[in-house]
Structure 1
C-alpha cells in the first residue's frame, strides 16, 4: 500500500469520527459514546468546541474529507510520483496539526478534561504530519541515475 493510500484511509476514518461528533452536537446522533468518562460532552460543549462560530467537529470533518480526496487522487497511477499532491496535503495537514495543538492545550491545560474521540484525531493528525515529511522527501528526492 502506498503512503498516500494509507493517508487516505486515516483521513476517511477521522472524517467519519468528526462527522459523528458534529451530528451529535447538532442533535442528530443521539447520545455520545465516550467510554463513560463524560469528557466528550464537556469538551465538545465548551467554548473551545467552536472556532469563529463554527463547530470544531465540522471543521475537522471538512478538513479530513479534503485530505482524503487529495490523498486518493494523488494515489492514482498518473499522479503517484507527482509533487503537487504532497504539497496540497502539506497545506491541509500542517495547519490542522497546529490547530490541534491549540485544541489539545485547551482540553488538557485550560479545561482539564479528556475526550477520547479528540485524542484519536490528535494522534491521527500527528501521524499524518510525520507522514507528510516522509512523502515530501520521497517526491522531491533526486531520481537515481539510470544504470
Structure 2
C-alpha cells in the first residue's frame, strides 16, 4: 500500500469523526460519546472550538475530506509519481499540523482539558505529517531519476 493510500484512509476516518463532532455541535448527533468525563463537551464548547466564527470540527471535516480526495487522486497509477499531489498534500497536511498544535496548546495548557476525539485527530495528523515527509523524499528521488 502506498503512502498516499494510507494518508487517504487516515483522512477519511478523521473526516468521519470530525463530521460526527460537527453534527453533535449543531444538535444533530444526540449525545457525545467521549469516555469517562465531559472533556469533549468542554473543549468543543469552548471558544477554541471555533476559528474565525467557523466550527473547528467542520474545518476538520472539510480539510480531511480534501486531503482524502487529493491523496486518492494522487494514488492513481497515472499520478503516483507526479510531484503536484505530493506538494498539495504537503501544503494541506503541514498547515493542518500547525493548526493542530494551536488547538492542542489551547486544549491542554489554556483549558486544561482533554478530548479523546481531538487526541485521535492530533495523532493522525502527526502520522500524516511524517508520511508526507517520507512521500516528499520519495517523489524527489523519482523526479531526479527521470
For 1:57, the equivalent position in structure 2 comes to 57
For 2:123, the equivalent position in structure 1 comes to 123
**Runs of 4 or more off by more than 6 Å in structure 1?**
none
Deviations 1:86-120 (A, max 9, x none): 00101100110000000000000000000000000
For 2:24, the equivalent position in structure 1 comes to 24
**Aligned-partner Cα distance in 1 for 2:129–2:2:** 16
**Aligned-partner Cα distance in 2 for 1:130–1:21:** 25
For 1:138, the equivalent position in structure 2 comes to 138
| TM-score (normalised: structure 1) | 0.96
**Aligned-partner Cα distance in 1 for 2:121–2:37:** 17
For the residue of structure 2 that corresponds to 1:19, the secondary structure is helix
Q: Report the CA distance between 1:82 and its aligned residue.
A: 0.5
For 2:77, the equivalent position in structure 1 comes to 77
For 2:101, the equivalent position in structure 1 comes to 101
Pairwise CA RMSD:
0.8
For 1:114, the equivalent position in structure 2 comes to 114
Q: Report the CA distance between 1:36 and its aligned residue.
A: 2.0
Unaligned runs of at least 5 residues, structure 2:
none
For the residue of structure 1 that corresponds to 2:28, the secondary structure is coil
For 2:92, the equivalent position in structure 1 comes to 92
| TM-score (normalised: structure 2) | 0.97
